[in-house]
Structure 1
Amino acid sequence: MSKILGLAVSATLLAASPALAITNLVSNGSFENGLANWTIGGSDGQNFPPVAIFYNSASAYPIGAFGESVPPDNSASNSPDAVGQRAAYFVTDLARAQSLSQTIFLTPGRYEFGFSAFAPQNGYNNAGDARFQATILGTTVANYLVSTGPVRTWQAFTGQTTIQTAGLYTVNFQFDTNLNPSKDIVIDRVYVGSVPEPESWAMLLAGFGLIGLMRRRSNSATVVSA
């Protein structure tokens, strides 16, 4: 086996190792338990707070997106969570910094984070616009008018940051509208996970290479008697 091939095999084993997969540090990041562990903030002049709707449901609010069937998230998300049955839905037409947020404790290290977003067609057809913002661990991951994004298409947002000090950090989604009716947004598969530093990856790869070398030496030392 060549050194290049050996490295490729080591990398494959590394990627396939369950112990090295990102663990989601966000509680209920895929909203399978409704909005449990999430805090609703801001104001709502219409009394339509965020809810967890069901995929492929043509039901009215708060079970579905006012009759529109929202397909499951099929974006290229790096979330460790499987696509489930539910997603969070921002819909009020008179929102002032309406938000969903969660605070998590992190230790120093490198972290990856992300989520998926979807704009339903029935909301997209409304005359009023909506601004959607996502701030995770102090990083603005998304900040756009729903009218400028794709409609009925799941899109993935992701980023990385280095945490220097252990403490509490916030995952926050904010929704603003000012016209009745306005556009709305669906989000799902919110995650934050620790990722190995480059030095850690190198050590792990070297470890796999050493294991392979030891196995080859063991095999070559076997004596077969006639």
Structure 2
Amino acid sequence: MKTAIFAGALALAVSASPAAAATNLLANGSFENGFTGWTVNLGPLPQGTAPVVINYNQASNYPTGAFGEAIGTNNVSSASPDAVGSRLAYFSSDTASPHTLSQLVNLVAGVRYDIGFDYYAPANGISNPFDATLGFLVNGASVGSVLTAGSPSGTPAQTWLNFSSSFVATSTGAQNVAFRFNGGGVTAADFGVDRVYVTAAVPEPGTWALMLIGFGAVGASMRRTRRVKPILQAA
């Protein structure tokens, strides 16, 4: 009985508290340290302009800015555990050879992971004649929709937006998480990216409460079982 009461009280306390903060499994998800922790691959074809890390509100030419257009500070709401900071990654290649930005993350089979990032399409890129795409991949497989900039149905210009999706890991160990940027021709649209994250899905407080009540009930049942004494048969 005491166990059940304790479990119920603990469950109520947990349900009244906020959910535990998630941890970003990616290193340097806000690019405050440049591309430290990331691997940049420019593909086998002519390289074009490589991805770079630039500052917000920096109206300078590539490679320190977005070809003269200042990208305003990220102001979109995000589930990322990371702060916005002062820097972002900028993709602007016109070649058909995909540019990727990746890192290895340790995942556990059967666990659901939330992923996301913030993105921005500069106006001068959208005005270019060719589209560009940006996809998020885990072990080479796309997760969520592939983003498009530069077409009537693509990303709006000069607006910070949020991409989010989830996936269930199919194996345990280090796995490749990557962006893949493709420019459609000379000249193509471009993307700014910030606050990239991969987090293990955390149960809601109510779920923890139900789990604790269940554990309490199991514990009480085990105590009752241990207290039952065998009945001795008379000889």
Normalising by the smaller structure, the TM-score range is 0.7 to 0.9
- Following the alignment from structure 2 to structure 1, what is the Cα–Cα distance between the partners of residues 25 and 57? 27
Paired residue for 2:130, among 116, 128, 131? Answer: 128
Paired residue for 2:175, among 166, 169, 174? Answer: 169
- Following the alignment from structure 1 to structure 2, what is the Cα–Cα distance between the partners of residues 28 and 161? 21
**Greater CA radius of gyration, 1 or 2?**
2
Structure with bigger strand share is 1
2:86 equivalent in structure 1: 85
1:74 equivalent in structure 2: 75
- Following the alignment from structure 1 to structure 2, what is the Cα–Cα distance between the partners of residues 144 and 66? 21
- Bigger drift between 105-114 and 21-30 goes to 105-114
Contiguous gaps of at least 5 residues in structure 2 = 1-10, 214-235
Contiguous gaps of at least 5 residues in structure 1 = 1-6, 209-226
- 1:196-215 → structure 2 map (5 Å cutoff): 196-197=202-203, 202-204=207-209
- 1:1-226 → structure 2 map (5 Å cutoff): 11-15=15-19, 20-41=20-41, 42-43=43-44, 45=46, 47-108=48-109, 109-136=111-138, 138-147=141-150, 148-197=154-203, 202-204=207-209
- Bigger drift between 116-125 and 45-54 goes to 45-54
Identity %, equivalent residues: 38
- Following the alignment from structure 2 to structure 1, what is the Cα–Cα distance between the partners of residues 201 and 90? 29
Per the alignment, in what secondary structure is the counterpart of residue 134 of structure 1? strand
Residue type matched to 1:149 in 2?
T
- Following the alignment from structure 2 to structure 1, what is the Cα–Cα distance between the partners of residues 196 and 29? 5
- Bigger drift between 42-51 and 142-151 goes to 42-51
- Following the alignment from structure 1 to structure 2, what is the Cα–Cα distance between the partners of residues 63 and 44? 24
The alignment of Structure 1 onto Structure 2 pairs a total of residues equal to: 198
- Following the alignment from structure 1 to structure 2, what is the Cα–Cα distance between the partners of residues 163 and 129? 32
Contact (CA 8 Å) 2:133, 2:148: kept in 1 or not? yes
Per the alignment, in what secondary structure is the counterpart of residue 142 of structure 1? coil
Residue type matched to 1:141 in 2?
G
TM-score by length of 1: 0.78
Residue type matched to 2:178 in 1?
N
